[in-house]
């Protein structure tokens, strides 16, 4: 009968297919709800599957390729009993699976970031909601939101990308206001793509820029050095070289500003 066939079709339809159809309609809030369903699977946050087997990397955000199936795990023939787990042969307590624990932690962080992004997209006062949940605007949130926006642009979903960009910009403004002065300055300089844009940042900061560079035992330069070291340790990618060049240029420019301010202070004494 027709009803049986339609029922079987609904049962065989994959959750990923349903999510993809919703995202194509550009109903982003509904899509992000579907993203929670996809994010509940261990995809993208690690190269290890839930079964502990190494798998190729998969997208970590909800606009993933349609019909992407999670890697299948072979059923283990070994049977572990509670007694065996508690009392291994060597007598040492069995350690939890660290890879699985990290995977679960990353998955939960992605879900929290998706929830926060959905709140911003549903809000009429985006900055107001961002201020209310400012503690949730962490690194994972900005990474997840940026990944959603990048893939939406790649797929040609301009409306989705624009909505995400507005929410992300509002969240960034709110978060920036809560940071210490040195980190605010560093973030502005790193986000400036050209030397001319960095000069504009220095001009807008005025005479206070030298004080910001030297305050708290030159914390600005300590953070800049730490950031540079972190980028140097990253695997080679298309953005690494440009970012390192920018960070080293910031180092040279800010050191010159600090020296000039010291000379002016000495001349006034």
pLDDT given for residue 217 in this prediction:
93
Q: List the domain boundaries for the chain.
A: 11-66+97-178, 179-269
Q: How many CB atoms lie within 10 A of CB 267?
A: 7
pLDDT for 29 equals 39
pLDDT of amino acid 104? 85
Residues of the chain with pLDDT below 70 are 1-96
The pLDDT score that the predictor gives to residue 91 is: 55
């Amino acid at each position: 009968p027709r009803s049986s066939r339609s029922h079987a079709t609904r049962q065989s339809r994959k959750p990923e297919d349903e999510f993809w159809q919703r995202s194509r309609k550009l109903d982003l809030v509904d899509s992000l709800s579907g993203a929670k369903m996809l994010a509940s699977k261990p995809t993208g946050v690690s190269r290890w599957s839930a079964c502990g087997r190494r798998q190729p990397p998969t997208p970590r955000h909800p606009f993933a390729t349609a019909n992407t199936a999670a890697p299948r795990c072979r059923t283990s023939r070994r049977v572990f009993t509670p007694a065996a787990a508690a009392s291994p042969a060597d007598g040492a307590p069995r350690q939890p699976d660290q890879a699985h624990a990290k995977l679960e932690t990353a998955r939960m962080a992605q879900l929290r970031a998706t929830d926060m992004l959905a709140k911003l997209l549903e809000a009429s006062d985006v900055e107001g909601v961002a201020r209310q949940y400012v503690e949730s605007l962490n690194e994972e949130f900005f990474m997840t939101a940026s990944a959603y926006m990048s893939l939406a642009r790649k797929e040609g979903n301009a409306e989705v990308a624009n909505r995400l960009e507005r929410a992300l910009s509002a969240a960034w403004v709110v978060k920036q206001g809560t940071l210490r002065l040195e980190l605010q300055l560093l973030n502005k300089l790193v986000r400036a793509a050209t030397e001319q844009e960095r000069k504009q940042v220095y001009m807008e900061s005025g005479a206070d820029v030298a004080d910001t560079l030297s305050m708290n035992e030159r914390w600005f330069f300590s953070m800049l050095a730490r950031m540079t070291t972190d980028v140097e340790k990253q695997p080679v990618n298309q953005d690494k070289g440009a970012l390192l060049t920018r960070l080293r240029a910031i180092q040279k420019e800010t050191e010159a500003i600090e020296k000039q301010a010291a000379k002016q202070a000495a001349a006034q004494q």
